[in-house]
């Protein structure tokens, strides 16, 4: 099983050109399956649909959420489809598997006032203040994913027109709008701080560490949490919270859902529609609070 997992990961990397992060995610799922097979002393030819369903149910009992189980189901399907194509097994046991129903948990957001106080309170005269403010302003202005912000490069930024080209999921590129406040923060950082961070080995990533290398996703998470704590924000804060807030505030301001879908880079508008539930909840709360018979 371990040999087949290694071969499959090579196939994903070489033939499919999938990212290292996705390869790691697939490997984790398949390694968990291999451990389960070892415990039950089952070979690959003995894995049927019932056994795979039991494996997914076991993962659920261990606390794996619905979205993660949906992803694990996809991993099993592509793996066993590949195994079946090689002729090592007679039939594909993963084909009948049904993906777990998605959680109906609504995304958390911050209010426009909370975000304004947070961003305007960052002391740019302090070391790395300009960089951190530019990062947070860009997150909120453009609704970027964490990986998209990490990968953003100078040559993709048009400061005159206020647009940034980003490479999203599936290596799809799109243009995102950079608002005036974010653009001001970025140009301030580029003019006064980034040049001090550049080292001989530095690449063209917009945001650099003190060592001159690109910021890692984990480092940016730390920056977001630290800046939120300094601003006195008690709720759990993470980069995607700014993306959620970006979409929710656009919708509340009257933006068309299709436009928000394009800005977020969602392939399916159903993914974007979750923000309509967030906005509707806000309308209900406002009506209940201010209407005399709410």
Active site residue ranges? 145, 169, 240, 243, 266, 275
Order of strands across the sheet that contains 163-167:
157-158, 163-167, 173-177
First-to-last alpha carbon distance for the chain, in angstroms, is 61
């Amino acid at each position: 099983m371990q040999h087949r997992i290694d071969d499959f990961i090579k196939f994903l990397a070489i033939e499919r050109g999938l990212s290292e992060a996705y390869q790691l995610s697939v490997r984790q799922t398949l390694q968990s399956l291999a451990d389960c097979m070892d415990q039950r002393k089952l070979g690959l030819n003995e894995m049927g649909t019932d056994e795979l369903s039991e494996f997914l149910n076991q993962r659920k009992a261990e606390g794996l959420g619905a979205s993660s189980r949906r992803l694990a189901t996809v991993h099993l399907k592509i793996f066993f489809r590949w195994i079946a194509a090689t002729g090592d097994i007679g039939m594909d046991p993963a084909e009948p598997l049904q993906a777990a129903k998605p959680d109906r948990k609504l995304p958390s957001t911050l209010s426009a006032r909370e975000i304004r106080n947070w961003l305007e309170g960052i002391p740019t005269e302090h070391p790395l203040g300009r960089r951190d403010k530019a990062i947070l302003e860009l997150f909120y202005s453009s609704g970027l994913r964490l990986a998209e912000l990490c990968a953003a490069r100078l040559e993709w930024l048009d400061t005159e027109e206020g647009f940034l080209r980003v490479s999203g999921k599936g290596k799809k590129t799109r243009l995102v709008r950079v608002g005036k406040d974010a653009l001001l923060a970025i140009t301030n950082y580029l003019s006064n701080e980034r040049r001090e961070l550049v080292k001989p080995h530095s690449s063209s990533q917009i945001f650099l560490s003190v060592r001159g290398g690109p910021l890692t996703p984990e480092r940016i998470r730390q920056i977001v949490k630290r800046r939120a704590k300094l601003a006195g924000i008690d709720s759990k804060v993470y980069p995607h919270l700014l993306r959620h807030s970006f979409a929710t505030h656009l919708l509340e301001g009257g933006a068309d859902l299709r436009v928000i879908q394009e800005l977020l880079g969602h392939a399916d508008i159903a993914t974007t529609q979750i923000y309509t539930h967030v906005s509707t909840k806000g309308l209900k709360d406002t009506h209940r609070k201010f209407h005399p018979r709410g």
